[in-house]
Amino acid sequence: MRFRELRSAQDILALVEELGFLPFFENPIRGFSVEENCPRELWFSPDTDGPWEWKGPIARSGRCVYGKFFAGKAGFVSREWLPDFANYRRDGYDFDARFDDGLAALRDKNVFDAIEGRGPILSKELKELCGYGRDGLKGFDTVITRLQMQTYVTVADFVYSLDRHGRPYGWGVAQYALPETVLGRETVTGGYGREPAESKERILTHLRRILPEAGDRELWRIVG
């Protein structure tokens, strides 16, 4: 399965809005990723920006969210489909209710609370604030990935260091925020009026339509 060639951030945004869901990296559904539909010469080119650099502008566009949503790997969810996606992934819980019911760990709560209180916040600052680092707590990546998989946290942008000429260089540092901060609470919780199972079925029905060659086992990696 192949989609149209992606040669700009706008191309990716348009495909995200058309499909609703778009993993960044290759996955069991062949062709269903940015990686497989963007020309190789645009990856890490010294002369032009490519998909790695486009992630930030796309994430801050207000038209979708970006994060580790698909089996712990990164990808995009459109503004239209986030309400059902969040309703299902959160199982109907806001984070505080999940914690109060004993369904979230204290470390998860500490990271969530720091993002809620200070976000958008750079990952290195978040780690320091929550006590992670060389001589501190371990397992930050596990916690932040779990919060993204549950749709409580998203990547709002990537921030780059600047050289003496003001040009960005190196790897962008993730800036974390709540989806509610990025798209607004009304949008994110727009699916709360449905049962989580109904949201799950809505998503599966949609994915079966746009990915007819994929089996339910492969689709579950997107939904589950």
In a domain, 216, yes or no: yes
Residue 62 DSSP label: S
pTM of the model: 0.93
Nearest-5° angle of CA 3, CA 4, CA 6? Answer: 115
Domain count of the chain? Answer: 1
In a domain, 153, yes or no: yes
Q: What is the chain's mean pLDDT, rounded?
A: 93
In a domain, 178, yes or no: yes
CB 182 within 8 A of CB 202: no
User: 210 to each of 15, 27, 203, 205, how far by Cα in Å?
Assistant: 12, 16, 11, 9
- Residue 129 lies in domain: 9-223
Spatial CB neighbours of 26, under 8 Å, sequence gap ≥ 6: 33, 35, 36
pLDDT tens digits for 92-138? 999 999 999 999 999 999 999 999 999 799 999 999 999 998 888 99
Q: How far apart are CA 142 and CA 110, in angstroms?
A: 14
In a domain, 2, yes or no: no
In a domain, 17, yes or no: yes
pLDDT tens digits for 132-172? 988 889 999 999 999 999 999 999 999 876 667 666 666 78
In a domain, 163, yes or no: yes
In a domain, 181, yes or no: yes
In a domain, 160, yes or no: yes
pLDDT score of 217 more than 80: yes
